[in-house]
Structure formats: structure tokens, C-alpha cells
């Protein structure tokens, strides 16, 4: 029986980079080799949920299996980077695994982009933005509700209810003000980095803080040995 879950945001909490933007560089280079010049996704000028939806609209008409394969290739390269992960957070993930805790990745990034990360780290629960697919297996360019802000809190609450776990026993790790709904749900919230909103809230409520220290992907035994 699951007694505790540790929830981890992904971008700039566990991974050093924003997965969607780093994947886009991989994807656009792949298209460029085929003589196509894709329009770059917007990164400013709107709220995060709007930008999230606009990003995934770029993949309308792409076979789901093609995007999944490309995501696998992207992550296989990304994970070898010498600054690919935030080491304190990665250490905490491995420690939770050693305690027998369930791990959940909770992110506005796409489920197809995050699944290789989850597979690599032995994570069984991926709460990510779902890209919708038509009857032929092609992406429509639309998504279900992005897992951002209140969407993160709702996804976390749904998993807690499904597994019958008490929120006060659980941990959550996040780096941005849009993680506040998730962090506020659990008994052990951890702020990664120095986002001003999370810093003010965390200090006021006695939350734990981690630094952003980039480094390579170490095996769990290596992480524990050097900590």
C-alpha cells in the first residue's frame, strides 16, 4: 500500500533546462535537415497556459508515434549533458525511491516529452499535459487542460485520492510561482531556487529550500555516495 508520494516539477526543478524549449531545438533541427523551417514557438507575451497551448499547436498533424520517437532521441542526448540535472533535487528523488515512496512527475510539459525522463528515473506516475490525438493517430494540436498552476494542484489531488494517500504525509518540489498550488497541498513542500513568490511564501510558512546546482545524470548509488 502506498503511504507517501513525492511530487516533482520537471523543468528547472529536476532538469536544468525547460524540456519543451530544449526539445524544440532538437525537433526544429530535425525538420531543417528535411528542408523545412518551422516557426519558433512564442515564449513571452501571454500567460503560461496560453503559451503552453500555442506550443503544442505546432505539432498538429504529426503522428503521435513520430513525436514519441523523437522525444526518446532528444532525451537520450539530453541526459548525457554535464549540466543536465539539478543535483540536489535529483538526490532527493533517489532518496525518496530508497525509502519506498511513490514518485510523480508533475509538469506543464507534454506527456510524450516527459515519459523518457520518467522511464530513465524509474518513475511510475506522469502528470503532464496530454496532447490530443485523432482516430488516425495524428496529433490535433490541441491539449487537455495544461498541468500548470491550479491544473497542477488538481492533478496532484486526483492522484492522492486515487491512491488513498494523505496529503500531509507527502512531499512536493517546485521552482516557480505556478507550482504554488501543488506545494500548498502537501505536508512537506520544498522550494527549488529563489523564485520571489515561492521564496516569500516559503519563508513565511517554514518551507524547505534547495539550491539549483547543475550537474550530470549520476546513478542513484553515485548520488547517495557523493551527498
For the stretch 112-123, pLDDT in tens is 999 999 999 999
For the stretch 178-222, pLDDT in tens is 999 999 999 999 999 999 999 999 999 999 999 999 999 876 544
Percent of the chain at pLDDT exceeding 90: 82
Mean pLDDT of 52-76: 95
For the stretch 23-32, pLDDT in tens is 999 998 887 7
Beta carbons of 21 and 113 less than 8 angstroms apart? no
Give residue 143's pLDDT: 95
For the stretch 2-54, pLDDT in tens is 689 999 999 999 999 999 999 999 998 887 777 666 676 766 767 888 889 99
Percent of the chain at pLDDT exceeding 70: 91
The more confidently predicted of residues 38 and 80 is: 80
Give residue 145's pLDDT: 85
- CA torsion sign for 222, 70, 14, 125 is negative
SS3 (DSSP) at 211: coil
What confidence tier does 223 reach under pLDDT thresholds 50, 70, 90?
very low
Instruction: Give the whole-angstrom CA distance, residue 37 versus residue 217.
Output: 32
C-alpha cell read off for 180: 504554488
5-226: CATH topology is Rossmann fold (3.40.50)
pTM, full prediction? 0.92
Burial label, 41 (beta-carbon count in 10 A; 0-12, 13-18, 19+): middle
Exposure class string for 66-88: b at 16+ Cβ within 10 A, else e: ebeebbeebbeebbebeebbbbb
Angle in degrees, CA 134, 136, 141, rounded to 5: 35
Mean pLDDT of 136-145: 94
* Cα 190 from chain centre: 15
Give residue 136's pLDDT: 96
Amino acid at each position: 500500500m502506498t503511504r507517501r508520494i513525492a511530487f516533482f516539477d520537471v523543468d528547472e526543478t529536476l532538469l536544468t533546462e525547460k524540456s519543451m524549449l530544449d526539445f524544440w531545438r532538437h525537433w526544429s533541427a530535425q525538420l531543417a535537415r528535411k528542408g523545412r523551417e518551422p516557426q519558433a514557438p512564442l515564449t513571452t507575451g501571454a500567460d503560461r497556459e496560453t503559451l503552453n497551448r500555442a506550443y503544442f499547436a505546432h505539432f498538429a498533424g504529426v503522428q503521435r508515434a513520430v513525436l514519441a520517437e523523437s522525444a526518446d532521441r532528444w532525451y537520450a542526448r539530453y541526459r548525457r549533458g554535464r549540466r543536465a540535472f539539478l543535483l540536489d533535487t535529483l538526490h532527493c528523488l533517489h532518496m525518496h525511491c530508497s525509502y519506498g515512496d511513490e514518485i510523480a512527475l508533475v509538469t506543464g510539459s507534454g506527456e510524450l516529452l516527459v515519459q523518457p525522463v520518467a522511464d530513465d528515473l524509474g518513475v511510475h506516475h506522469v502528470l503532464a499535459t496530454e496532447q490530443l490525438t485523432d482516430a488516425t493517430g495524428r496529433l490535433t494540436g490541441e491539449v487537455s487542460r495544461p498541468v500548470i498552476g491550479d491544473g497542477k494542484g488538481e492533478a496532484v489531488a486526483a492522484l492522492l485520492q486515487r491512491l488513498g494517500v494523505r496529503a500531509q504525509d507527502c512531499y512536493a518540489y517546485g521552482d516557480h510561482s505556478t507550482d504554488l498550488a501543488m506545494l500548498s497541498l502537501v505536508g512537506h513542500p520544498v522550494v527549488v531556487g529563489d523564485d520571489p513568490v515561492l521564496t516569500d511564501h516559503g519563508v513565511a510558512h517554514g518551507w524547505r529550500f534547495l539550491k539549483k546546482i547543475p550537474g550530470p545524470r549520476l546513478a542513484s548509488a553515485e548520488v547517495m555516495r557523493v551527498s
